[in-house]
Amino acid sequence: LCPLSNSFLPLGSQSLRLCQLFALLAAIWFRTYLHSSKTSSFIRHVVATLLGLYLALFCFGWYALHFLVQSGISYCIMIIIGVENMHNYCFVFALGYLTVCQVTRVYIFDYGQYSADFSGPMMIITQKITSLACEIHDGMFRKDEELTSSQRDLAVRRMPSLLEYLSYNCNFMGILAGPLCSYKDYITFIEGRSYHMTQSGENGKEETQYERTEPSPNTAVIQKLLICGLSLLFHLTVCTTLPVEHNIDEHFQATASWPTKVIYLYISLLAARPKYYFAWTLADAINNAAGFGFRGYDKNGAARWDLISNLRIQQIEMSTSFKMFLDNWNIQTALWLKRVCYERTSFSPTIQTFILSAIWHGVYPGYYLTFLTGVLMTLAARAMRNNFRHYFVEPSQLKLFYDVITWIVTQVAISYTVVPFVLLSIKPSFMFYSSWYYCLHILGILVLLLLPVKKTQRRKNTHENIQLSQSKKFDEGENSLGQNSFSTTNNVCNQNQEIASRHSSLKQ
């Protein structure tokens, strides 16, 4: 369900790269001299906010005022509208303001140019505003039994102060390239509670907190900077020799054989990915250098610094399914789409999520072609997996054969899907698809028409909940004492079914 990239990430702006380098050094200074054990949360909030606004002003000039306008008006909406409906109003305003800025930048100023795209940071701020609004709505309006386990964990139980809100939206660690993080995780980091462990008491209810030794992020930061260096080197040496635009070159289309076209399509899109590896990994390293991003310890006792990581390179390149690729690419945006859209809509959640992803990315026609194609590919891949995968689980040789075939198909399908995202414009995108005779579109439609589509767990549980509700009403008329017992049991059942169904739907 996740989008393919953030449009502002490619390496086009010298000032952006300089500011990210400054942010890395500032993060080291922030962790060393403004550690939570040495100074108050207030000072940490103020410094993180002021540094972030300074970097934004240095990179984007007075366009950075859009960040404050969008954030400020959204905060006023939260205060004035109230917790019942503010998440809807904030969603419409923040996304609408972002879209207006994107239309202005693309169609008035510099169509097709990525340099110093001020709407890029606004994409992250839009995610944070809408996420926070939903988390406040969940924590201050909805009942706990109505929430999923993840919604309950992220729910915000009090309205943030203006300083906390601005610090969350505009801190120097994430204002330029993200990634998105939850409000509770950020506040936990600022207040120095990231290393507090919770242990249940003997009765299972009492909880005690104790503090473990704070792990050093240095190893994680160095590893991520090495990945950045390799990605940058690959981008500067290989990517320029394998342009995606060559896929629509008339001479290439006329003379290349089909195997050559398929191989070049895959290699050219493979070569386009390191610039995103560079930007996202650097952003993650900056947060880690400041001490943010600690997830806990693995089973071997090693510290994990992947709380807000945005990608897993090995899993991406070795993906054997469309879902596996999407689960490991732009992870934080995928979680945002799940939390603000997929979990909160009852009608065609997959389609609505892809549409939201396209709108959030921008107004280039290629984005919409990619995400519309992505809907078809996702549904077709799900149908194929549900109908055939169980035949290839055993023996191991058969499963290996299945994995090799699905890896090839997945990589080609992903490359085919994202070409318009790179080309941006409508004409070259259709030129590419027509040169391939829309073959994967046609194949995807045939799969959906010919293969039986299993009813998703989400739909099954909706039907079961309706039946339980009707049964509940019948019992209410029969026995008032039985009503209370059945109602309590039914609520717990519905809650467990909802959690299981959403988890199952997303895994599919």
Q: Is 161 exposed, middle or buried (0-12, 13-18, 19+ CB in 10 A)?
A: exposed
Who contacts 231 (Cβ-Cβ below 8 Å, separation ≥6)?
274, 275, 277, 278, 281
Task: Count, in order, helices (H) and strands (E) of the chain.
Answer: 22, 4
Residues identified as active-site? 330, 361
Contact 365, 425 (CB under 8 A): yes
CA–CA dist 168, 171 (Å, integer): 6
C-alpha 155/C-alpha 65 separation (Å) is 29
Long-range contacts of 134-142 (CB under 8 A, 24+ apart): 134/87, 134/339, 134/340, 134/344, 135/182, 135/183, 135/184, 136/78, 136/83, 136/86, 136/87, 136/160, 137/83, 137/84, 137/86, 137/87, 140/83, 141/83, 141/84
Q: What single-letter DSSP state applies at residue 311?
A: B
DSSP annotation of 214: P
Say what the alpha-carbon torsion angle 97, 101, 102, 106 is, to the nearest 10 degrees.
160
How many residues are listed for the chain in this entry? Answer: 508
**DSSP class per residue in 224-250:** HHHHHHHHHHHHHHTGGGS-GGGGG-H
Tokens of 455: 């009813």
Coil, helix or strand at residue 155: coil
User: Could you tell me the two tokens for 444?
Assistant: 């995807």
The pair of structure tokens assigned to 479 is 């026995």
Give SS3 for 253.
helix
Tokens 């943010």 label which residue? 292
Cβ atoms of residues 311 and 280 within 8 Å: yes
Any residues with CB less than 8 A from the CB of 155 and at least 6 apart, and which? 135, 138, 139, 142, 147
